Structure 1
């Protein structure tokens, strides 16, 4: 996917309060405003032409509710391993890239000169927006890379695929249907490139054998003779893949 510059007209809006920031999403599909707090991130979705004064009134009215939701999140969420500061290492297909956090209007996240660059208005207080930008970046690249790998390996396995999607799974790396539809956990692109290949081959082979029988593993080994090494890497280190 070609990353394009975001014009000022389409930049997301941020409203800053003393204790949190609010992301404003404007849409022509809504006639009323809605508010959500998800993983410590406050978002208000409003009609496209709703006046700023009305948005401020909604936020003021819901201030106590927002603070309560944020407190609940802080109390029940595990401490994040990442600090989301410049210089932090971010894995992608077996290589570590350095995070570079810039101050400015929200802009598309880019990989340039060996650094993954994220731009937010207030980096020191907006780690959730930095994380959101990184997640979106990983999802875009996972969708592209995994589709490429499916196209590469489906002929080697000897199958035809249907729809290929990337999404977020809680406890698995991929799934398939008898119709050839495949779904992959986008987080897998944080693993080494060969491990990603293994996950793709694994799901493609399930289109031939819908279980983990000896015949299934024999097919996996035919396409990837060193699959056991990649399977073991995933078993040992896969739980640590996170943004």
Structure 2
């Protein structure tokens, strides 16, 4: 068993996700896409984690600042009322102020609780990314398990990644990797991406034979392929 549960700590300008796992003997701080996570041994005390975050605060803030500078300008302001797409349907964001709570999908709204302050939009953005990644982890694994027997393959693993210009990939070792942003597309388009990568376990090219295999499993793949091509710029460009 890997991660057993997640907790969150406020770090004076950022939120750190605490991931407890039996695989770690020491703590490891990561700043990915501007989001802070600390992977720690299962029984490490919160006081030790807080001390570590305090010691590394300058380094963490520098990493976050570098990420922000590298990001293209976003039209999103991360305020209540803004729409965010999930499996092709728009959900309105509802921001509540208080001690941090991760995003929850409640009564048709994406609800997040964050402290008030100048860093609030950044915290909300990272909370949303974490939520999308969690959904991707669950939904995409379910879809792989459903379609793999139909395609007739057995992937070695499923990973969630951040890609700039692709929805998924298939490694030579049989691992499937998916872009978490695909969760903003309609459900059938997500199915297409899964089928596409599973078919690459049979053929590592885009030959006529490859597309024939995709079509065998999903006859309407062309519609979904075209939708993704034309709507890619609007999916998660924030």
Q: TM-score range by the shorter chain?
A: 0.7 to 0.9
SS of the residue aligned with 2:84?
strand
Report the CA distance shift for 1:55/1:113 in structure 2 as closer, same or farther (over 3 A).
closer
SS of the residue aligned with 1:129?
helix
SS of the residue aligned with 2:11?
strand
Distance 1:131 1:124 in 2: 13
1:157 aligns with 2:151: yes
- Aligned ranges 1:114-125 → 2 under 5 Å: 114-122=108-116, 125=119
SS of the residue aligned with 2:113?
strand
Report the CA distance shift for 1:222/1:105 in structure 2 as closer, same or farther (over 3 A).
same
SS of the residue aligned with 1:102?
strand
Q: 89, 92, 100: which one pairs with 2:94?
A: 100
Distance 2:155 2:165 in 1: 23
Distance 2:154 2:49 in 1: 51
- Residue number in structure 2 paired with 1:171: 165
* Deviation, structure 1 residue 140: 0.4
Length-normalised TM-score, structure 1: 0.76
CA contact (8 A) 2:141 2:158 kept: yes
- Residue number in structure 2 paired with 1:202: 196
- Residue number in structure 1 paired with 2:125: 131
How many positions carry a matched residue from both structures? 224
153-162 vs 213-222, greater mean Cα deviation = 153-162
- Residue number in structure 1 paired with 2:176: 182
- Residue number in structure 2 paired with 1:12: 9
CA contact (8 A) 1:165 1:184 kept: yes
CA contact (8 A) 2:168 2:178 kept: yes
CA contact (8 A) 1:173 1:199 kept: yes
* Deviation, structure 1 residue 124: 5.9
CA contact (8 A) 2:8 2:17 kept: no
Length-normalised TM-score, structure 2: 0.78
CA contact (8 A) 2:112 2:127 kept: yes
* Deviation, structure 1 residue 169: 1.5
Q: Give the number of the structure whose alpha-carbon radius of gyration is greater.
A: 1
- Residue number in structure 2 paired with 1:193: 187
SS of the residue aligned with 1:12?
strand
* Deviation, structure 1 residue 14: 3.5
CA contact (8 A) 1:175 1:183 kept: yes
CA contact (8 A) 1:174 1:185 kept: yes
